[in-house]
Amino acid sequence: MKRILFVVTYFDCGGTCRALQNILNIINPEEFQIDVFGFVESGMYEKGLFKNCHIIPECKALSYLFQRYSSTTGLNRYAAAFSKIVNRLSKNKYNNWLLRRIANKIVSKGDYDLVVAFSEGIVTTFLSYVEHPNKVAWIHCDYASNHQLAGCTNEVSIYSSYKSIVCVSEFTKTSFVRIYPTLKDKTYSIYNVLDDNMMKTQSKMALPNDISFDPEYFNIVSIGRLDPVKRMSIIPTIANHLVNKGDKIRWLVIGPKGGTDKEYAELTDGIRKFNLGEHVLYLGMQSNPYPFIKNADLLVNTSISEACPYVINEAKILGTPIVCTDFGSAKEFIDSGSTGLISPIDDMAETIHQYINNAEIRNHIKDNLNGFKYDNESIIEQFKLLSK
């Protein structure tokens, strides 16, 4: 039996943890013994997020250093603040010392066949301090875009310490290799695993009591965190265009706030500005998004960039048509005019309007989605090769 360690930053409902959740749901527990370590065991799902694995208890010192301020209360908030002050006064030496110490302690105890940094940034740095013959760095974002937005320094030395680098789409791989061409020979693309049976089962569950899909409306849903890269704040502008065109829409926006309140404020301000209270509803985070996707007439993705867009693939599995922006990997996952529509953001309102009012296009896309099957088998086989 192969032993694998996955490391993530937070146990939350973000794309990285959903990706790991799907791997754990599908992988054969008789073939793999999997440990999961999270810097911070907090969030909507916490330890209940994962099955078929062993959760390594969090290190409190590490947790205090990386906890989000908004998620701490009482003494934990003081401890977290103190850790951050110590790190700042040490000019990041405390952070580096702690990462190195904990990473080596965890890996040395496990006798692992494969060690995976399952998210970019600090987790990749964390495992770069470890000597191991089979380390994998997993990239879930459009690295070039994320690298620029985050103002990252050159990370070639960090990624050079890994045997393999996995990107979740061909576009993401190309984007990464363009920045670090010397790492081309160790960089691969493997799509995200998706537990389609779980999604279909959960999509049949009831919606929360205070939420329903009114057949009098054309029901649209958008799902994702309120973060600038997801660009959800533009939804009121698009919705206002549709309403002015005479389209009777109801647009449900689902997802947690991002790192700041700016995107949330712009979304809610836009709803008030255009008097869209009847047409655009922000529902916050929902623990089960699948009934919303399944029952919607259309899923709309407004992102600036995506690597392997979870919600788009989920919509395809559940048979819901998609309109998305023309981000770099869009053509890998949407055959425009067949399984959905790809549109520049400036044309998105008109694209949605045309879709709503053209039964031929709607029926054509729905018919094509009825036969869609996600290929988990080949993805799992690629994953197994990494552990050899």
3-class DSSP state of 135: strand
H/E segment holding residue 190:
none
3-class DSSP state of 221: strand
Residue 46 has pLDDT above 60, yes or no: no
- Amino acid identity for residue 129 in this structure: Y
- Complete DSSP assignment for 57-79: PPPHHHHHHH--GGG--HHHHHH
The predicted-structure confidence for 65-120, as pLDDT tens digits, reads as follows 887 666 666 677 777 788 888 888 888 888 889 999 999 999 998 889 999 999 88
CA-closest candidate to residue 281, choices 356, 355, 219: 219
Contacts of 325 (CB under 8 A, 6+ apart): 231, 301, 302, 303, 304, 342, 343, 344, 345, 348
- Which segments within 267-359 are labelled E, that is strand? 280-284, 298-301, 322-325, 341-343
Q: How far is CA 353 from CA 102, 131, 254, 267, in A?
A: 54, 55, 21, 21
The predicted-structure confidence for 151-197, as pLDDT tens digits, reads as follows 567 789 999 999 999 999 999 999 899 899 999 999 999 998 888 88
The predicted-structure confidence for 349-364, as pLDDT tens digits, reads as follows 999 999 999 999 999 9
